Amino acid sequence: MKEKKYLVGIIAGGSFLVAAVTAQEQTPSHLQELLELGMHPGHAYVDEGRELFNTMKGPNGKTCASCHGEDGSKNLEGAYARMPRYYTDIGKVADLDLRILSCMTQYMGFDPKDKKFRKEFDKWSGKYRVPLATFVASLSNGMEINVQIDDPQEEEMYKKGEKLWFMRVGARDFSCGICHSVLAGKRIRLQGLPDPVKAKVYTHWPAYRFGNDRMWTMEDRVRSCFRAYFLFEKKWNEKSDWVKKPPPYSDWVIALELYMKHAANGGVIEVPGLLR
Amino acid sequence: MISRRDLLKTASAGALALLMAPALIGSSFSRDMTLEEALKEHLGATLSDLTQSDKVRIKAPTIAESGANVPVQISADVPVEEVEALYIFADANFNPWVTTVELSPMNGEVFFATRIKLAKTSVVRAIIKMKDGTLLATSKEIKVTVGGCG
Amino acid sequence: MKKTVIYGASFTAFILIACQPTAQKAAVSEKKEEEKKIQVKKEKKKNLAERFKIALANQDKWQKACSNPDQIVPKGIDVETFRKEMMATVKFPEGGVIGKDIKRGEKLFGDPDKGGRSRRGNCYACHCGDPRILACGNIGPSLRGYAKRGIDPKDTYIRIYNSWAIVPCSVMPRLGYHGVLTPEEIADIVAYMHDPESPLNK
Amino acid sequence: MARIGRAIVRVPKKIKKGDVFKVQMVITHPMETGRRKDRHGKTIPAHYITKVEFFFNDKKVTTLHTGPAISKNPYFAVMMKATESGKLTIKYEDNKGGKWEKSVPVKVS
């Protein structure tokens, strides 16, 4: 319900006239009506993730359910609410995507250097990551986000995330913060700019985006955001010098996730979310 | 556009194949149609055969940020027993016909919801074909805009 | 140049089946080129972390100054000096700040045939203007009737080339400064904005 | 992407006899129109769902004829009248010969 309220809140649709009058003015919107349909393809990902969780065997014969119980009944409920966090077994701060990867490689016997496996895992259209992440996240539905910063590594990552959030860089002089903190509430075209601190956006991630008809985890989202920065190595050149994304599961991504999710503490998780 | 490599491949495979290629590609396209043609094909009717009726309702957004996903809900205040089928057409699409829904008394009421694609700003039409042959229709314009940061 | 050669070769093959050798030769060089491309791609992927690191380190000193929670010029830095330094970077095109190709200016501003899209200019992301473009942002002021406001085209040019010369740390990208748009392209946008006949002003 | 052809069907948990209830479903399917081109300029062949049939206790309730103008990962919703408990079966097929079936129980009290 909270999710719905929030989503409806951020949609500032409208014609030119409306736009000229006020930013808060809302007209019947696309997304609002999509939400009213009540069911969306994100639910198919949860379904698929559950099946993988229970039946997909790693090279050593174990499934996710071998350790976590059928449907994640053992120790996985609420796990997502605490992520990203420091894990002693991998020795670093991990987000949902990296945690699943490390589980599959450390405990199920997948080879992290196996190209075929990594293709299926890393790509958004691959078999494993997105459905599993969506399913595992959905096990925390109804719970409050509760990200703690008590390990020194977590603290370091948090600081890194905060710095990155406000860092102006790239050929467009953007930072996350200028649009999502300073200008929050305004619109980019018809898209409202949510403030992750006040609006607790993290509650509905991973989310299904109708714009390109696929499920996004926050990892995908953060990495893709950097495309808009027009980051460059030497001198800005769209064709030869554009550094589009940071590498997957890198500290930059996880630091930003930690910063944002900590800001969303107290928000009630409801995934899969739904976006324009 | 056909890439250079494809062009070369096809070329070395022989001119005949190349000559045929456009025809092969063409066959996988659905042919462009006008609304009148689509109405004729699916309903055997013309625009003037439609009876505008406020008993039929379309629920859809006025502005859609993405033409790839426009939610459309059709309902009608007519007994489902008298209805044969429900049609959706989108005027500006390459093929205006969107869907045909054959209803039966077991449906309880005339209702259908889905998400459709719109190539551009377009009038969307809902047509209810009654068992006596009457075509009840209503329409709504949906403006398709650019989503996101552009 | 190469493109023309290859296209030419394939065209010959198209007319005469006997031209097979030409096509094959072209195919070999094509293959090499393809391999080279793949190599470059691999290199890029391998160094993604390295490249990203460099890209972040490329932050210039003005960007660094603006990187605070308020995203404004911090205390201790003189705003006037900031402006002056930014002003010194502005390069003007030879033909003056009002360009000739209004159509190109419109396309860079936001192509009306594509709903106002334009990757490089993308003005409609933040500004409204042409009433036909419904999906326009409200981060910046509406540019409707811009030409009637008595603004000097030179100021418009500077604002687009390097907005920080006027409002330091503004959210508006310094499009000319970074080379996202060339001076000539910016001049065309200025021409579009100041043309009384443009849909912005009608 | 989730596997092509996977469907989820939702019916209300509590249905009273005589009620008209909503049946919703989402099918994972690319719904390619045959007009789009991939990065290399090649046309992506058309691939879309052509027919969806709803059966209740083996009696046909509704038939949907669909084409490429339905969105990717399509959503469909129809109403049904509750007369008795039973099995709702949905059969669907696409233009490439894919055929699937999904059943859910409907409890009417």
The secondary structure of chain A as a DSSP string is: -HHHHHHHHHB----HHHHHH-SS----BHHHHHHHT---THHHHHHHHHHHHHHPPPTTS--HHHHH-GGGTTT-TTHHHH-SEEETTTTEEE-HHHHHHHHHHHTS---TT-HHHHHHHHSTTSSSHHHHHHHHHHTTTTSBP-----SHHHHHHHHHHHHHHT--BTTTTB-HHIIIIISTTSEETTEE---HHHH-GGGG-SEEETTTTEEE-HHHHHHHHGGGGT-BSSS--TTTSB---PPTT-HHHHHHHHHHHHHTTTPBP--SEEE-
A45 touches chain D (CB under 8 A): yes
Neighbours of chain C (3+ CB pairs under 8 A): A, B
pLDDT of residue A19: 35
A213 touches chain D (CB under 8 A): yes
Q: Do chains D and C touch (3 or more CB pairs under 8 A)?
A: no
Spell out which residues of chain D touch residue B64, defining contact as CB-CB under 8 Å.
none
Percent of chain B with pLDDT over 90: 56
Res. B149: pLDDT tops 70: no
Burial class (CB in 10 A: 0-12, 13-18, 19+), A148: exposed
C76 touches chain A (CB under 8 A): no
Neighbours of chain B (3+ CB pairs under 8 A): A, C, D
B31 pLDDT band, cuts 50/70/90, is: low
Cβ <8 Å between D6 and A40: no
pLDDT of residue A129: 94
What does DSSP assign to residue C8?
Answer: H
Cβ <8 Å between A250 and C55: no
D78 touches chain A (CB under 8 A): no
Q: What is the mean predicted confidence (pLDDT) over A199-222?
A: 89
Q: At CA D44, angle to CA D42 and CA D48, rounded to 5? A: 170
Lowest mean pLDDT among A16-25, B2-11, B72-81: A16-25
Q: Return d(Cα B128, Cα B125) in angstroms, integer.
A: 10
| In chain A, residues 182-201 whose CB comes closer than 8 Å to chain C | 182-183, 186-190
Chain B residue whose CA is closest to A29: B61
User: Of C130, C124, B65, whose CA–CA distance to A13 is shortest?
Assistant: B65
Q: Which residues pair with A232 in a beta bridge?
A: A242
- A31-71 pLDDT per residue, tens: 677 777 778 889 999 999 999 999 999 999 999 999 999 99
A220 pLDDT band, cuts 50/70/90, is: very high
Q: Return d(Cα B12, Cα B9) in angstroms, integer.
A: 5
Spell out which residues of chain A touch residue B148, defining contact as CB-CB under 8 Å.
188-189, 191, 211, 276
Res. A3: pLDDT tops 50: no
B35-144: CATH topology is Immunoglobulin-like (2.60.40)
Residues A192 and A185 sit within 8 Å (Cβ to Cβ): yes
* Start-to-end CA span in chain C (Å): 44
- D24-73 pLDDT per residue, tens: 999 999 999 988 888 888 999 999 999 999 999 999 999 999 999 999 99
A211 touches chain D (CB under 8 A): no
pLDDT of residue C135: 85
Residue A11 forms part of a structural domain: no
Residue A258 forms part of a structural domain: yes
The shortest CB-CB distance from A188 to any of C116, C137, C173 is to C137
Q: In what helix (H) or strand (E) does residue D99 lie, and over which residues does it extend?
A: strand D99-106
Q: At CA A204, angle to CA B150 and CA A249, rounded to 5? A: 75
Q: Return d(Cα A222, Cα C144) in angstroms, integer.
A: 34
Cβ <8 Å between B4 and C14: no
Chain C residue whose CA is closest to B17: C14
User: Could you tell me how many CB contacts below 8 A there are between chain A and chain B?
Assistant: 69
Q: Return d(Cα A226, Cα A223) in angstroms, integer.
A: 6
Spell out which residues of chain A touch residue B143, defining contact as CB-CB under 8 Å.
15
Q: Which residues contact A110 (CB under 8 A, 6 or more apart)?
A: A58, A59, A104, A117, A121
pLDDT of residue A176: 94
Q: At CA C7, angle to CA C2 and CA C9, rounded to 5? A: 95
What does DSSP assign to residue D46?
Answer: P
In this structure, which CATH number among 1.10.10.10, 3.40.50.300, 1.10.760.10, 2.40.110.10 belongs to the domain C64-201?
A: 1.10.760.10
C114 pLDDT band, cuts 50/70/90, is: confident
Half-sphere exposure of C15 (CA within 13 A, CB side): 6
pLDDT of residue A199: 79
CA distance D73 to chain A (A): 6
Half-sphere exposure of A152 (CA within 13 A, CB side): 1
Res. A138: pLDDT tops 60: yes
Q: In what helix (H) or strand (E) does residue D77 lie, and over which residues does it extend?
A: strand D75-81
What does DSSP assign to residue B105?
Answer: G
Res. A8: pLDDT tops 80: no
Chain C residue whose CA is closest to B62: C134
The pair of structure tokens assigned to A39 is: 């069911």
Residues C191 and C102 sit within 8 Å (Cβ to Cβ): yes
The mean predicted confidence, pLDDT, of chain A is: 85
Cβ burial C131-155 (10 Å sphere, 16+ → b, else e) = eebbbbbbbbebbbebbeeeeebee
The domain limits of chain B are 1-30, 35-144
CA distance D25 to chain B (A): 10
Mutation to test the A interface, candidates B57, B59, B65, most A Cβ within 10 Å = B65
Cβ <8 Å between A41 and D6: no
Cβ <8 Å between C48 and A245: yes
A188 pLDDT band, cuts 50/70/90, is: confident
Q: What is the mean predicted confidence (pLDDT) over C112-141?
A: 90
pLDDT of residue A195: 84
Q: Higher model confidence: residue D80 or residue A194?
A: D80
**Model pTM?**
0.81
Q: What is the mean predicted confidence (pLDDT) over A76-100?
A: 94
| Cα separations in angstroms, A5 against A41, A203, C57, D52 | 20, 12, 40, 33
pLDDT of residue D2: 52
Decide if A225 is catalytic.
yes
Q: What is the mean predicted confidence (pLDDT) over C175-186?
A: 95
pLDDT of residue A245: 92
Q: Do chains B and D touch (3 or more CB pairs under 8 A)?
A: yes
Three-class SS state of B121 = coil
pLDDT of residue A239: 86
CA distance C72 to chain A (A): 10
- C9-41 pLDDT per residue, tens: 343 333 333 334 444 555 666 777 777 777 766
Mutation to test the D interface, candidates B5, B27, B28, most D Cβ within 10 Å = B28
Percent of chain B with pLDDT over 70: 77
Q: Return d(Cα D53, Cα D37) in angstroms, integer.
A: 31
Q: Higher model confidence: residue A10 or residue B63?
A: B63
A266 touches chain D (CB under 8 A): no
CA distance C144 to chain A (A): 10
| ipTM over the 0.90 cut-off | no
C116 touches chain B (CB under 8 A): yes
Res. A24: pLDDT tops 70: no
CA distance B64 to chain C (A): 10
Chain D residue whose CA is closest to B29: D34
What does DSSP assign to residue D97?
Answer: S
- D70-98 pLDDT per residue, tens: 999 999 999 999 889 999 999 999 999 99
The shortest CB-CB distance from A19 to any of C49, C69, C136 is to C136
CA distance B11 to chain C (A): 6
Cβ <8 Å between B12 and C117: no
Question: What residue has token string 């959210």?
Answer: C171
Chain A residue whose CA is closest to C62: A168
B61 touches chain A (CB under 8 A): yes
Q: What is the mean predicted confidence (pLDDT) over B47-60?
A: 92
A131 touches chain C (CB under 8 A): no
- Determine the structural domain holding residue A193 and report its residue range: 40-275
- A245-271 pLDDT per residue, tens: 999 999 999 999 999 999 999 999 999
pLDDT of residue B32: 80
The shortest CB-CB distance from D2 to any of A39, A40, A48 is to A48
The pair of structure tokens assigned to A91 is: 């020795």
Q: Higher model confidence: residue B65 or residue A33?
A: B65
pLDDT of residue C42: 65
Taking the CA atoms of residue A239, residue A245, residue A248 and residue A249 in that order, the dihedral angle to the nearest 10 degrees is 160
| In chain D, residues 88-107 whose CB comes closer than 8 Å to chain B | none
Q: Higher model confidence: residue C77 or residue A30?
A: C77
pLDDT of residue A6: 37
CA distance A251 to chain C (A): 10
pLDDT of residue A190: 81
Q: Which residues contact C173 (CB under 8 A, 6 or more apart)?
A: A171, A172, A173, A174, C163, C180
Mutation to test the D interface, candidates B3, B9, B91, B104, most D Cβ within 10 Å = B104
Res. C176: pLDDT tops 60: yes
Residues C144 and C131 sit within 8 Å (Cβ to Cβ): yes
Spell out which residues of chain D touch residue A43, defining contact as CB-CB under 8 Å.
8, 26
Res. A14: pLDDT tops 80: no
C3 touches chain B (CB under 8 A): yes
Neighbours of chain A (3+ CB pairs under 8 A): B, C, D
Lowest mean pLDDT among A32-41, A75-84, A226-235, C149-158: A32-41
pLDDT of residue C26: 58
What does DSSP assign to residue D60?
Answer: E
D7-106: CATH topology is Immunoglobulin-like (2.60.40)
CA distance A114 to chain D (A): 21
D72 touches chain A (CB under 8 A): yes
Q: What is the mean predicted confidence (pLDDT) over A226-241?
A: 90
Instruction: Find out whether the peptide bond into B61 is cis, omega within 30 degrees of 0.
Output: no
Chain B residue whose CA is closest to D68: B98
Q: Provide the domain count of chain A.
A: 1
Res. C129: pLDDT tops 50: yes
